[in-house]
């Protein structure tokens, strides 16, 4: 089995690539020639090349800094809302985790696990904002494993510790805390 054969056509292709290299070399030389001509002209007119070089470096540096600042403002991602999961009936009659730290705009998903039914009620007496506690509460019981519901923390939520519990299992200690930062 033959993997590669050098034929007249392959050699002609090599000549074609050498021609391309010659053309590129020609352009490189002409650019150097023109650059030298500009340098000689500026030298004759008394322009200091070091000053021009220093000035062009300063302008390039300022342009780079400006582009960096502009791009950081334009392309920066605003903080995205997070989603947290609290398991109801995690390892028995408890919430897992028992304490969740959130920020306004975040979502907390309460998911049913063991020993249903479960729900989530926020205690207005042990919360910084009783009205928010009432609006976050989910009275409806979840009976099936895997059943879940979301609670969205409003953008204007008052910071603090909001206590929540499961009505059927509150006496068994199924209590948790939602800390709004």
For the annotated catalytic residues, the residue numbers are 118, 166, 169, 174
1-22 burial code (b ≥16 CB/10 A, e <16): eeeeeeeeeeeeeeeeeeeeee
Q: Which two tokens stand for residue 156?
A: 């204007």
Strand partners, 88: 95, 112
The one-character DSSP state at 91 is T
Alpha-carbon dihedral sign for residues 134, 140, 114, 108: negative
Which CA distances in Å does 170 have to 56, 89, 97, 118, 119?
73, 12, 16, 10, 10
Rounded-to-integer distance, Cα 151 and Cα 41, Å: 74
CB 178 within 8 A of CB 130: no
């Amino acid at each position: 089995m033959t993997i590669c054969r050098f034929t007249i056509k392959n050699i002609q292709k090599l000549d074609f690539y050498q021609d391309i290299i010659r053309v590129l070399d020609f352009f490189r030389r002409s650019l150097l020639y023109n650059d030298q001509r500009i340098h000689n002209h500026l030298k004759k007119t008394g322009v200091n090349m070091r000053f021009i070089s220093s000035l062009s470096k300063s302008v390039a540096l300022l342009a780079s800094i400006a582009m960096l600042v502009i791009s950081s403002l334009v392309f920066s991602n605003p903080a995205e809302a997070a989603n947290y999961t609290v398991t109801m009936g995690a390892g028995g009659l408890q919430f897992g985790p028992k304490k969740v730290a959130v920020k306004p705009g975040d979502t907390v998903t309460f998911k049913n696990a063991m020993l249903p039914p479960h729900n989530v009620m926020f205690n207005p007496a042990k919360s910084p904002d009783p009205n928010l506690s009432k609006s976050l509460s989910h009275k409806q019981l979840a009976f099936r494993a895997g059943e879940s519901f979301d609670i969205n923390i409003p953008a204007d939520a008052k910071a603090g510790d909001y206590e929540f519990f499961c009505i059927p299992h509150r006496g068994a200690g199924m209590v948790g805390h939602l800390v709004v930062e």
